[in-house]
């Protein structure tokens, strides 16, 4: 049995998230279908680095595949891509040691969220259009409150979490131009819906309804307020899964030229 690391991009618009669900179309489910065709009777295991929710996209999701095969890595990539829908694409594949695990070997993850500052005919599935005027400079100032080790209980969902809700946030940055606001959030790991709630709270800061002081309060004391501001999944992208603390992340660029 050989193990391969895969880098994958996908448009999550028409999928019910990453994880296999009975009666629902998912990213992992499409990979299972493709693997059954490519590897025929051979057994295989396929694990992702994280579970993206329904409607969430990936610029570079990571996964590992265990399979007994004589095919070389590039042959596997080409064969699987032939069987996958156009909205899912393997960017790269390489053999890795048996102790590599797509999820457990990761040291951090980076997400970006794309807010459109204007109505768009093409990007509805890929951005969050906010009609209200936002102040991105205030959003950037407040984003610094998230950096460091904090308890994100207010930003997660209790029934979905493990015992600890502590998360180390490496950086939270806001970039913008006339039509776009791009928020990059880089952390050790993330609770369910955490990123979308962080974005929603920052949007309220941009509307001048919340402040950095409110964010600090949410981090120090449990509150259900962030849940009320959960951003839609359409603008969220898993940008990169990092396996080395020194691994660089490229500069933020708008995903769509809006």
Tens digit of each residue's pLDDT (9 = 90 or more) over 111-140: 999 999 999 988 889 999 999 999 999 999
Pick the CATH number of 108-242 from 3.40.190.10, 1.10.150.20, 3.30.70.660, 1.10.287.130: 3.30.70.660
Nearest to 115, CA basis, from 182, 58, 185: 182
Q: Give the pLDDT of residue 44.
A: 93
Q: What is the pTM of this model?
A: 0.93
* Separation of alpha carbons 154 and 219, rounded Å: 7
Question: Which one of 11, 33, 45, 53 is the catalytic residue?
Answer: 53
Task: Give the dihedral of Cα atoms 215, 61, 181, 197; nearest 10 deg.
Answer: -30
Q: Give the pLDDT of residue 161.
A: 47
Residue 257 banded pLDDT, cuts 50, 70, 90:
low
For 13-23, how does the pLDDT look when each residue is reduced to its tens digit (9 = 90+)?
Answer: 999 999 988 88
**Is 99 among the residues known to form the active site?**
no
Exposure of 93 in the CB half-sphere (CA atoms within 13 A):
19
Residue 163 banded pLDDT, cuts 50, 70, 90:
low
SS3 letters for 202-242? Answer: HHHHHCCCCCHHHHHHHHHCCCCHHHHCCCCHHHEEEEEEE
| CB neighbour list of residue 22: distance below 8 Å, 6 or more residues apart | none
For 87-106, how does the pLDDT look when each residue is reduced to its tens digit (9 = 90+)?
Answer: 999 999 999 999 999 999 99
- Percent of the chain residues past pLDDT 90, beyond the cut: 85
* Fold agreement between 2-96 and 108-242: yes
| CB neighbour list of residue 164: distance below 8 Å, 6 or more residues apart | none
5: left (phi over 0), alpha (psi -120 to 50) or beta: beta
* Domain parsing of the chain, residue ranges: 2-96, 108-242
* Separation of alpha carbons 190 and 162, rounded Å: 11
At the top level of CATH, which class does the domain 2-96 belong to? alpha beta
Q: Give the pLDDT of residue 248.
A: 75
Q: What are phi and psi of 215, to 5 degrees?
A: -60, -45
For 25-60, how does the pLDDT look when each residue is reduced to its tens digit (9 = 90+)?
Answer: 999 999 999 999 999 978 999 999 998 999 999 999
* Separation of alpha carbons 157 and 227, rounded Å: 8
In angstroms, the Cα distances linking 78 to 5, 7, 42, 73, 90 are 14, 13, 18, 9, 8
Q: What are phi and psi of 206, to 5 degrees?
A: -65, -30
* Separation of alpha carbons 212 and 61, rounded Å: 31
């Amino acid at each position: 049995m050989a193990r391969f690391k895969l880098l994958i991009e996908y448009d999550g618009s028409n999928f019910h998230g990453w994880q296999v669900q009975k009666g629902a179309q998912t990213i992992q489910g499409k990979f299972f279908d493709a693997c059954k065709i490519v590897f025929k009777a051979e057994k295989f295991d396929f694990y992702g680095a994280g579970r993206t929710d329904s409607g969430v996209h990936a610029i570079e999701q990571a996964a590992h595949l265990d399979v007994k095969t004589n095919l070389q890595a590039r042959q596997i990539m080409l064969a699987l891509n032939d069987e996958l829908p156009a909205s899912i694409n393997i960017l790269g594949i390489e053999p890795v040691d048996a102790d590599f695990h797509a999820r457990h070997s990761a040291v951090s993850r980076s997400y970006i969220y794309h807010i459109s500052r204007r109505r768009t005919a093409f990007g509805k599935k890929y951005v969050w259009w906010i009609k209200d005027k936002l102040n991105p400079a205030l959003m950037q100032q407040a984003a610094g409150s998230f950096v460091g080790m904090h308890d994100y209980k207010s930003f997660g969902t209790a029934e979905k979490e493990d015992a600890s809700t502590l998360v180390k946030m490496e950086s939270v940055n806001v970039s913008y131009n006339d039509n776009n606001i791009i928020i990059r959030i880089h952390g050790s790991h993330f609770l369910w819906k955490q990123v979308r709630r962080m974005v929603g709270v920052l949007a309220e800061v941009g509307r001048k309804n919340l402040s950095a002081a409110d964010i600090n309060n949410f981090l120090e004391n449990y509150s259900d307020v962030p849940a009320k501001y959960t951003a839609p999944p359409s603008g969220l992208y898993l940008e990169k899964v990092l396996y080395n603390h020194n691994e660089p992340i490229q500069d933020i660029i708008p995903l769509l030229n809006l």
